[in-house]
Structure 1
């Protein structure tokens, strides 16, 4: 049978653990991680309160404007992009399975014909192949865990610190008002 005209059918096994041999790592592409609007509004609102406090303090002390380069709402809302690499493996029963690896792995971590054991989880979108959480390369003895950027790493430690301080300011003001009444 001609495999060009009649390609082998690919299955999506949901696991949780699949053992098999790597058939092929397909070309990776980027996918965007969405940031929820309520989370973004809460973080930017409390961080904005801290920035306003800093600006008032800076104007009183005549130290100049506080803060550095700010990212726009659309940039923060867009979210980080991460690498998605489709992986095809033939499991122990001979079924060809397609999975997705999210994040970066060392280039030599997986080679065709490597015997691997993967832990997978189905994705929220049912139209996507299961996502690989952990890979144990039984051929080389490596344990591989792909890392994906999160909403919190996208927002950055500076913005999150400002949001926490802003939240503390709101709590302090609220406590002062409650105690005063």
Structure 2
């Protein structure tokens, strides 16, 4: 057995929704991609395509994106966060998105609200943190599916849906 293994800190997975402890620090960040479901991407793609067809008829420049680009989804920053409770046990949780650098300092007393992730092998996800040292509530912000699709494409999808609904109503009526 190596000396390194004797001194390796044991990192625990926490299961309750609220953790109170001291902020130990942030670990190295990395990015993770959120995939958008095929039905949603296909519905937006088709209905926006109807509006794009109308825009082409009236010689306007619509926003165009491929179905592959829509399915790819937004990337967001994942930062493992370590906390130590009163018993000296260290917990690792994941923070999705970003917080201001000055929001947390090593040794700050924090209360963290967590949520389990879809993949049970991943640590719980931080949804909100209250720095009890400064009494500052903090919520990391991450990109959503809707922000990834963008207002222009969503507006085109709504227009395309309205045109398709109108044509369907005229055809049935």
Please state which band the TM-score falls in when normalised by the shorter chain: over 0.9
For residues 41-90 of structure 1, what are the alpha-carbon distances to aligned partners after superposition, in whole Å with 9 as ceiling and x for unaligned? Answer: 0001000011111212x2xxxxx45325x333322221111011100101
3-state SS of the aligned residue for 1:104?
coil
Q: Are 1:98 and 2:99 counterparts?
A: no
Count of paired positions:
171
TM-score, L = length of structure 2: 0.93
**Separation of aligned partners in 1, 2:3 and 2:161:** 60
Equivalent position of 1:126 in the other structure: 120
Equivalent position of 2:27 in the other structure: 26
**Separation of aligned partners in 2, 1:20 and 1:148:** 24
Q: Are 1:10 and 2:32 counterparts?
A: no
Q: Are 1:66 and 2:58 counterparts?
A: no
* Structure 1, gaps ≥5 residues long: 59-63
Q: Are 1:115 and 2:115 counterparts?
A: no
| CA displacement at 1:127 relative to structure 2 | 0.9
Of structures 1 and 2, the larger Rg is shown by: 1
**Separation of aligned partners in 2, 1:169 and 1:93:** 63
* Structure 2, gaps ≥5 residues long: none
TM-score, L = length of structure 1: 0.89
Q: CA RMSD in A?
A: 1.6
Equivalent position of 2:40 in the other structure: 39
